[in-house]
Structure 1
Amino acid sequence: MNAPEAPLLTADGLTKWYGRQLGCRDVSFEIHQGEVLAVVGESGSGKSTLLRLLSGLMPLDAGRVCYRLRDGVTRDIAALTEAERRFLFRTDWGYVHQDPAAGLRMAVSAGGNVGERLMAVGARHYGRIRGSAMDWLTRVEIDPERIDETPKSYSGGMRQRLQIARNLVTEPRLVFMDEPTGGLDVSVQARLLDLLRGLVSDLGLAAIVVTHDLAVARLLSQRMLVMKGGSVIESGLTDRVLDDPREAYTQLLVSSILPP
């Protein structure tokens, strides 16, 4: 029997303070290749802080984040050089922001936004870069005829789909998603969620999805962390947590948000 593959990412005792205010405390978990983990909780529960700590966008006060690179070696993210971290973000990692403007260059064409990430990993042939950009626009349901338009002319839902294309074009292994459907109309949310679920499955991505929407967590994730006051108070398989929550807070969260 083959030995089980090592975790893709391991969080161990992650803690962050903002002065005297707690961001998150002693959060630990593992995520494996192809697995989707949802982090849920009310506003201020610490879930967005956790995502920024995991992705190295914010320094830790305690704990560590380790990531298994493509060569099989697991490294402490804090020990990587700035150049190594930048390379990781251009290749193995993606980050989908709630506000697409934070993840796009709004004055650059849609094709340029997608192609820029390809150029960052060494692509130089203009025709192939443009062809890949058109292919990815099609995959995220954007008319490739609009490749030369800037995101400023796109709707909110289109901007979010373009941000997803920009992130996935380099075939990352892990994608961080911060409220990926937040601020969108319900009908647009449903379409985007269907798209995300298909892409995650087709590409075998691992993803960490921060959301306050339990329906999003149900649709996208296999496992879930429930956060309150900066701490994880419940975790487990998504269906188990949502159908049979053990903690009173989780029960309240489920009963107040999910329909009976």
Structure 2
Amino acid sequence: MTPLLKVEGLGKFYGRHLGCADISFTLWPGEVMGIVGESGSGKSTLLNCLAGHMPPDTGRVMFDTRDQGLRDTLEMSEPERRWLARTDWAFVHQNPRDGLRMNVSAGGNVGDRLMAVGARHYGDIRRQASDWLGRVEIDAGRIDERPRAFSGGMQQRLQIARNLVTGPRLVFMDEPTGGLDVSVQARLLDLLRGLVRHFGLSAVIVTHDLAVVRLLADRLMVMKDGHVVEEGLTDQVLDDPQDAYTQLLVSSVLQV
């Protein structure tokens, strides 16, 4: 089996400050990788380098393209990377306002991504938008309302619908439950778990919340000061952490 994503020696520096260094891992089709660590650990820098939001200084990010197999995304042309971001990749921001067009209706937000990949029939676009609102538990009767009229949890679910409507194979998620009330987080996690399983999605999820990766991630990487200090199956890492820093993270959650 060909890996969907293969990362080799990825590194990023901000002047003399280390963002992340020597990151290597393989992500298989249908697999979810969680990345955890405290603020400043380098996990968000890594995610943004993987998703093409910032260029790394070292390493390669290989993706299994539909027509040419594994290719280094860093060597793709800008139009190729934009097309990849509209089709096979998706990015769910922590703040849904960063991933939505707040002055466009809910249906327009979902339809916007469809139009970006060539859809033009208004009726078909609206039907797909309505279907996806239902999939993320938003009343289809609110299709013409703007996101600013929605709660934070609904905005996040709308952002998920906008991202998944084109059938991406890889989803990057940056603290997808951050800033939400506990009850809203639980509902969103149940929704994400169902969508990941139903569509066989691969995902890379960055979070500081170990409960999120416990529920969603097959494998886990723990980062500290820009480096991966531990990696393995999620349950193994959380139930029997080997690195002292991972032990501290797990114990701090248990003590709360």
RMSD, matched Cα: 0.9
1:248 aligns with 2:244: yes
Question: Which of these residues, 63, 67, 84, is aligned with residue 67 of structure 1?
Answer: 63
Which amino acid in structure 1 is aligned with residue 157 of structure 2? R
Aligned residue for 1:88, secondary structure, equals: helix
Provide the residue aligned with 1:183 in structure 2. 179
1:57 has 2:48 as partner: no
Q: 2:42 aligns with which of 39, 46, 61?
A: 46
Give percent identity, aligned residues only. Answer: 69
Verify the 8 A CA contact 1:245 1:251 in the aligned structure 2.
yes
Within 2, Cα distance between the matches of 1:199 and 1:246? Answer: 32
Tell me, what secondary structure is at the counterpart of 1:149? Answer: coil
Partner amino acid for 2:65? Answer: L
For 2:72 and 2:248, how far apart are their aligned partners in 1?
Answer: 37
**Structure 2 residue identity aligned to 1:65:** V
Q: 1:94 aligns with which of 78, 84, 90?
A: 90
Q: In the aligned structure 1, how far is the partner of 2:144 from the partner of 2:254?
A: 41
Aligned residue pairs: how many? 256
Which deviates more, 62-71 or 193-202?
62-71
**Contact 1:215–1:258 (8 Å) recurs in 2:** no
Distance in 1 (CA, whole Å) between partners of 2:253 and 2:128 is 40
SS of corresponding position for 2:33: strand
Aligned match for 1:172, one of 165, 168, 172: 168
Letter of the structure 2 residue corresponding to residue 233 of structure 1: V
Q: Which residue of 1 aligns with 2:31?
A: 35
**C-alpha distance in 2, partners of 1:6/1:54?**
18
Aligned to 1:145: 141
Match of 1:109 in 2: 105
Deviations 1:141-184 (A, max 9, x none): 00110000010111000000000000000010000000000000
Within the candidate set 19, 32, 40, 1:23 is matched to 19
SS in 2 for 1:111: helix
Work out whether 1:230 is the aligned partner of 2:230. Answer: no
Shift of 1:86: 0.5
User: Unmatched 5+ residue regions in structure 1?
Assistant: none
CA–CA separation in structure 2 for the residues paired with 1:34 and 1:132: 24
1:98 positional shift: 0.1
Are the aligned partners of 1:214 and 1:258 in contact in 2 as well (CA < 8 Å)? no
Distance 2:131 2:243 in 1: 45
Structure 1 residue 70, shift from structure 2 partner: 1.2
Q: Distance in 2 between matches of 1:34 and 1:122?
A: 26
| 4+ residue runs over 4 A deviation | none
Match of 1:193 in 2: 189
Equivalents in 2 of 1:197, 1:207: separation in Å? 11
- Secondary structure of the residue aligned to 1:132 is helix
Please tell me the residue identity of whatever aligns with 1:67: F
TM-score (norm 1): 0.97
User: What is the CA–CA distance in structure 1 between the aligned matches of 2:172 and 2:103, rounded to whole Å?
Assistant: 24
Give SS of 2:91's match. Answer: strand
Deviation at 1:71, TM superposition (A): 2.2
- Counterpart of 2:30 in 1: which secondary structure? coil
- Superposed displacement of residue 259, structure 1: 6.0
